[in-house]
Amino acid sequence: MSESIRSDTDVQILDKDGSVLPDATVPDLDDDTLVEMYAQMRLCRSFDERAVSLQRQGRSGTYSTMLGHEGTLVGSAFALAEDDWIVPYYRDQGATVTHGLPLENILMYYMGHEQGSVIPEDVNVMPICITIADHIPHATGIAWASKLKGEESATVCYFGDGATSEGDFHEGLNFAGVMDTPNLFICMNNQWAISTPFERQTAADTIAQKAQGYGFEGIRVDGMDPLAVYTVTQQAREKALDPDADQARPTLIETLLYRIGAHNTSDDPSAYRGEEEVEEWREWDPLPRLETFLRERGLLDDEEIDAIEERNTEQVEAAVEAAENVTADPEEMFEHVYAEQTQNVREQQEYLRRLREEFGDEQLLED
């Protein structure tokens, strides 16, 4: 299946071995930015491995890995401006962190601390959405608001192929087409919606072609090629903010990639897919492809890679320490539901407070 990536995609720049395809155009990024993109992808890989380790040690809850998704997440986030919004689901850590979300927020979220969903004021990222696809209409609403307010910002919404079978996907994209909102809908088609294969997800040949039904452009890109994803996202963003007369603002970007790891730390993928398939796709791993590209240009060597790894390890460990030093308060679950608490939320908070006073936290947890 992986050998067909190029023929199945509209855009690909790097071949499987990291060389530039003969008919491809490398994006106009300076050398430092290209190395920074690689370093950020390695940070995502290191963070992912550490987060899984924490879950296995019982120090964190169930975690969804992004192994194999780094090219899409980092490549697309590099194409965004600071004022752009990201509306994520549960596998977008690479994009949200690249857009400014502290690593410890991700860890706090998976450790069950409400503070993980408290986004810093200067970071345009919405909290993680665990439910499937219901963040898509929110992304459309944010983009519509930006358009009405005359802001120069696009709204990017990430989701998986399984989300395209939900009603919220169709409602969000239909509304975006009708209201011509500055949205980028990035579907990471990683071939498996937990145990449901892509061919059982839709009878359509591609997800990108669904955009035609909503009146805007759909494009399919090699999602394990960070340079291709950057290019497509950058062009879609430009169109969202300043379209030609015959162009619609929204774009549906289908990034064709593979979930190399399990769906999450509660999943056993060997129950529904073969290791041969995994190994075939692993050959398209976005990290070695970009690393080869940079080495061949003289922008990267072993010494620089070691330095990047050392910095990443320090950053990840600092985030782990910060997250584990948080003292959680159960009442925080009521603090950030609305900008201002409603009467109903205040009553629920007061009810929990009375229970804790009457029975104590230890007995409440046991019963």
User: In this structure, what are the phi and psi dihedrals at residue 211, rounded to the nearest 5 degrees?
Assistant: -60, -30
Three-state DSSP class for 1? coil
DSSP SS3 for 221 = strand
Kindly state the tokens that stand for 24: 């491809």
Please state the separation of Cα 209 from the chain's center in Å: 21
Residue 129: name the closest of 185, 88, 166 by CA: 88
DSSP 156-186: EEEEEGGGGGSHHHHHHHHHHHHHT--EEEE
The amino acid that residue 246 corresponds to is D
Task: With both helix axes pointing from N to C terminus, report the angle between 226-241 and 31-56 in degrees, rounded to the nearest 10.
Answer: 110
- Catalytic residue selected from 272, 338, 351, 353: 272
Q: Examine the residue annotation and report whether 135 is marked as an active-site residue of this protein.
A: no
**Backbone φ and ψ of 312, nearest 5°:** -65, -45
Catalytic residue, candidates 99, 249, 259, 289: 259
Q: Of the listed 69, 99, 263, 289, which one is catalytic?
A: 263
Q: How many residues does the chain have?
A: 367
The residues that are catalytic are 259, 263, 272
